Amino acid sequence: MLEAIGVDSIDDLFDEIPAHLRASSLEAVPEGMTEMEVSRLMHERADSNTRALCFMGAGAYQHHIPAAVWEITTRGEFYSAYTPYQAEASQGTLQLTYEYQSMMTALTAMDVSNASMYDGASSLAEAILMAVRGNRKSKSRKILIPTTVNPGYRKTAHTIVKGQQIELVDVPYDETSGTATLEKFKQTAEDDITAIVLQQPNFFGGLEAVDEITDWAHENNILVIAVINPLVASIVNPPGEWGNDDNSKGADIACGDGQPLGAPMSAGGPYYGLLCCKQALVRQMPGRIVGRTVDLDGRDGFVLTLQAREQHIRRSKATSNICTNQGLVVTASTIYMSIMGAAGLENTAAACHANNNMLVDKLTAIDGVKKAFDCSHFHETVLQLDKPAADVLAALLDKGILGGYDLSKDYPELGDAILVCTTEMRSKEDIQAYADAMQQVMAATPLEGLQETA
């Protein structure tokens, strides 16, 4: 090939790249493996998964998924379909995606949904870019983002937007409620703010005062970006209805991860990012949108529309370079929502909330365990411990309990604190088993001795 194109070496093809930007040898990349070796490695990794009772959340949640969801999703028609560029050959995929968009706008009370992003974190980053493009009244490119937003989302968003001179300004949370109050926003805000981010429920599981904060933001020409758990939107006010002022009702953009809607925890993915917005911002939306139309004979048909990506228009005019998405997981979510229906989603969310209340009541009755915050919450709660959180979680795991997420790295100011989660999957017996295990762990002296004998 080199001879055919007239160059002497591979390096000649990349001579425009300065030497100081070139990577040296990739010493950490292992040698290639045979199919047999890869199969053995993957089986070993699969065997390392725990079957412990899961009370872990922090962005990925263990929900019941009806068997039909993935039986249908993995049919060849869906499983092998990739990108629906040729509408005449992709009507099935396009119609399913259109149905997904319709369900997502109904769930969020927003005007428009795209056909998904990579995950919740990158969806937030794209929402921030949308807000900067869409808020013509603001020149600051400053975004207020509470520290109660998922830490992984905040880090991802910073990585993606910092190269475009967009500043993410942290808003501290109230130490009593564990929420970002309106007062905290006002204290952090300057004269010109482009947008704010509100996660509902927040990373601690707390419910933010979204109505009054949304009204304040719109009064000051600030766009509102909602980060949501789509399941929770079935029982609390969806982002499109945030605010008490009818003249400025609702968040401007809604994003989040679709994992709670039919995707297993699966070691962190693949998931997909949902992204919805008000009609006024539709031309700033990245990715794909599927529209409904009619053909020459008047029959319904589905096509890709508003394709403002760099594959279709000049790169400098593109809203993003998102060229694909997590379409298979979107398929699963569409089927999941179809099977569950509105009542099924509401019942599932209500069961999650009730189970969390039950768990927290039992755990906080144990000496050395207390709630960190006094606020309304959904299916996650922060608990503070009188013993090292990492040691407690390790001891619980030895007893078959995946006890929660250690918050010490992301929120060291909370001390030894864990984030516990319950979904509809946890029975009364599961919750009692966790409480019994926690009682033993907290009563053990010393804790290290318990771990050694467990």
**Do residues 211 and 92 both lie within one domain?**
yes
Per-residue pLDDT, 316: 74
pTM: 0.90
Give the DSSP per-residue string, 333-392: HHHHHHHHHHHHHHHHHHHHHHHHHHHHHHHTTSTTEEES--S-BSSEEEEEESS-HHHH
**What is the pLDDT of the chain when averaged over all its residues?**
92
Q: Which of 271, 301, 335 is the last residue of a domain?
A: 335
Q: Which residue has the tokens 């092998």?
A: 80
**Residue range(s) defining the domain that contains residue 348:** 342-453
**Do residues 262 and 238 both lie within one domain?**
yes
Per-residue pLDDT, 404: 97
**Do residues 355 and 320 both lie within one domain?**
no
Residue 41 in domain: no
Cβ atoms of 239 and 233 closer than 8 Å: yes
Residues 6 or more apart whose CB falls under 8 angstroms from that of 244 comprise 211, 212, 215
Task: Give the domain CATH number at 374.
Answer: 3.90.1150.10
Residue 197 in domain: yes
For residues 83-93, give the mean pLDDT.
Answer: 83
**Do residues 175 and 113 both lie within one domain?**
yes
Gap between the Cα atoms of 119 and 122, Å rounded = 6
- Dihedral sign (CA 172, 177, 181, 187): negative
**Do residues 276 and 423 both lie within one domain?**
no
Q: Which of 300, 335, 370 is the last residue of a domain?
A: 335
pLDDT one-digit tens code per residue, 386-408 = 999 999 999 999 999 999 999 99
Cβ atoms of 229 and 201 closer than 8 Å: yes
For residues 43-72, give the mean pLDDT.
Answer: 94
**Do residues 137 and 161 both lie within one domain?**
yes
Domains of the chain: total: 2
Gap between the Cα atoms of 364 and 262, Å rounded = 31
Determine what percent of the chain is predicted with pLDDT higher than 90: 76
pLDDT one-digit tens code per residue, 411-449 = 999 999 999 999 999 999 999 999 999 999 999 876 554
Determine what percent of the chain is predicted with pLDDT higher than 70: 96
pLDDT one-digit tens code per residue, 319-367 = 776 666 788 999 999 999 999 999 999 999 999 999 999 999 999 999 9
pLDDT band at 368 (very low <50, low <70, confident <90, very high): very high
Count CB atoms within 10 A of the CB of residue 48: 7
Per-residue pLDDT, 248: 73
Residue 220 in domain: yes
β pairing state of 195-200 and 223-228 = parallel
Per-residue pLDDT, 447: 53
pLDDT band at 24 (very low <50, low <70, confident <90, very high): confident
Residue 137 in domain: yes
Residue 394 in domain: yes
Flag whether pLDDT at 454 surpasses 50: no
Flag whether pLDDT at 157 surpasses 80: yes
Cβ atoms of 124 and 197 closer than 8 Å: yes
**Do residues 329 and 370 both lie within one domain?**
no
Residue 23 in domain: no
**Do residues 299 and 155 both lie within one domain?**
yes
**Do residues 218 and 289 both lie within one domain?**
yes
Flag whether pLDDT at 250 surpasses 60: yes
**Do residues 111 and 160 both lie within one domain?**
yes
Task: Give the domain CATH number at 124.
Answer: 3.40.640.10
Tell me the C-alpha to C-alpha distance, in Å, between residue 65 and each of 136, 322, 340, 425: 43, 29, 10, 10
- Give buried/exposed letters for 272-284 (b at 16+ CB in 10 A, else e): bbbbbbbeebbeb
**Do residues 318 and 350 both lie within one domain?**
no
**Do residues 413 and 428 both lie within one domain?**
yes
Residue 57 in domain: no
pLDDT band at 313 (very low <50, low <70, confident <90, very high): confident
pLDDT band at 453 (very low <50, low <70, confident <90, very high): very low
Q: Which of 305, 335, 365 is the last residue of a domain?
A: 335
Residue 48 in domain: no
